[in-house]
């Protein structure tokens, strides 16, 4: 760790994630019929806006949660092999998959405390919606993450990505890939899974936050979405390697460029999901998750395990 060369990627990670999250938000604005400049204008607007308190609130609690959100996104991304020289990840961690999942779960805490802090009904109900949301998406999500790890025999994202030299896991285990995409959106409480910030609750956990507080919530959400989408690349799309179809003498290009292209594809799929689905009510999503998604995820993990063992 003492080597400055290993620290540099870590220091650049946060600004890089902010930029990509901004691009993703611009894409989101365009798909919803807005201008591409909307996230920039919105950021300036929230930076020039007063923060806000409510009667008998707990601003410290809320702001701890709001700050945790972008920090968790950066920490999650730190173990993702993004195509840097060496193993590809800013931090090379043997149990990277576990670390990644632990950072994602911090978002539960973040939304809950952000909703709890203002001492207001709509914010509190919004914060509590994280609970049914988490209970619904987390099991399919963990099974979807663990399935590539079973196939590769490692919890290290770099080794999982290297194990896909012949066949992408997105092709070999398509159900796990689809479940990962869906649960990525749910984990970032974004798009069809935005119920904790629902319009029916006047913005839910974010209803009473203004200015910088609101910016942290919305920017943190996009950063989390991008970080989770980034993990799909090493887990399912072969990481920084060129697609297998380019054969033995391909235009290989630097690993980070392939990573970037694949990340854009994953983000485009997620934005498409928002276009076709309304916001799901939590009781509907919980039913769907436990009746359909979890059995599918278990079946997929079982098939992969049997093939690996045999």
- Residues in contact with other proteins by the rule CB under 8 A: 32-35, 38, 41-42, 44-45, 47-52, 54-55, 118-123, 125, 128, 192, 194-195, 198-203, 206-211, 214, 275-284
Packing angle of the helix pair 212-236, 4-31 (nearest 10 deg): 100
Other Cβ atoms within 10 Å of 251 Cβ, number: 6
Nearer to other proteins, 39 or 234 (CB): 39
Nearer to other proteins, 54 or 87 (CB): 54
CB 60, min distance to other proteins, A: 17
Give me the helices (H) in 117-254, please: 121-128, 130-152, 157-162, 169-172, 174-187, 212-236
Nearer to other proteins, 194 or 219 (CB): 194
CB 297, min distance to other proteins, A: 20
CB 68, min distance to other proteins, A: 20
CB 280, min distance to other proteins, A: 5
CB 283, min distance to other proteins, A: 7
Query: CA 51, 26, 52: angle at the middle one, nearest 5?
Result: 5
Nearer to other proteins, 156 or 208 (CB): 208
> For 238, left (φ over 0), alpha (ψ -120 to 50), or beta?
left
Q: Residue 22: phi, psi to the nearest 5?
A: -65, -40
Nearer to other proteins, 247 or 278 (CB): 278
Nearest-CA neighbor of 239 among 151, 164, 146, 152? 164
Residue 261 near residue 290, CB atoms below 8 Å: no
Residue 296 near residue 263, CB atoms below 8 Å: no
8-28 in b/e burial notation, b at 16+ Cβ within 10 A?
Answer: ebeeebbebbbebbbbbbbbb
Nearer to other proteins, 138 or 208 (CB): 208
Report helix, strand or coil for 79. Answer: coil
CB 118, min distance to other proteins, A: 7
């Amino acid at each position: 760790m003492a080597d400055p060369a290993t620290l540099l990627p870590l220091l650049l990670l946060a600004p890089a994630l902010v930029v990509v999250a901004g691009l993703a938000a611009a894409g989101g604005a365009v798909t919803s019929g807005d201008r591409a400049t909307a996230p920039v204008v919105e950021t300036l607007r929230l930076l020039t806006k007063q923060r806000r308190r409510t009667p008998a609130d707990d601003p410290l609690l809320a702001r701890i949660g709001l700050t945790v959100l972008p920090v968790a996104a950066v920490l999650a991304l730190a173990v993702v092999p993004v195509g840097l020289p060496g193993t590809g990840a800013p931090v090379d961690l043997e149990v990277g998959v576990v670390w990644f999942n632990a950072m994602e779960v911090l978002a539960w805490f973040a939304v809950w405390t952000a909703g709890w802090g203002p001492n207001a009904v709509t914010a509190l109900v919004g914060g509590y919606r994280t609970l049914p949301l988490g209970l619904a998406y987390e099991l399919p999500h963990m099974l979807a993450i663990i399935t590539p790890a079973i196939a590769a025999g490692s919890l290290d994202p770099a080794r999982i990505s290297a194990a896909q030299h012949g066949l992408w896991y997105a092709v070999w285990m398509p159900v796990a890939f689809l479940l990962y995409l869906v649960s990525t959106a749910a984990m970032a409480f974004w798009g069809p899974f935005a119920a904790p910030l629902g319009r029916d609750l006047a913005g839910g956990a974010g209803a009473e936050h203004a200015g910088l507080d609101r910016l942290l919530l919305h920017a943190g959400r996009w950063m989390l979405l991008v970080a989770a989408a980034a993990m799909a690349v090493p887990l399912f799309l072969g990481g920084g390697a060129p697609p297998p179809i380019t054969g033995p003498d391909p235009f290989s290009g630097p690993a980070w460029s392939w990573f970037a292209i694949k990340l854009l594809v994953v983000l485009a799929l997620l934005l498409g999901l928002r276009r076709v689905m309304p916001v799901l009510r939590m009781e509907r999503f919980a039913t769907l998750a436990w009746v359909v998604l979890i059995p599918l995820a278990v079946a997929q993990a079982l098939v992969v395990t049997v093939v690996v063992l045999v």
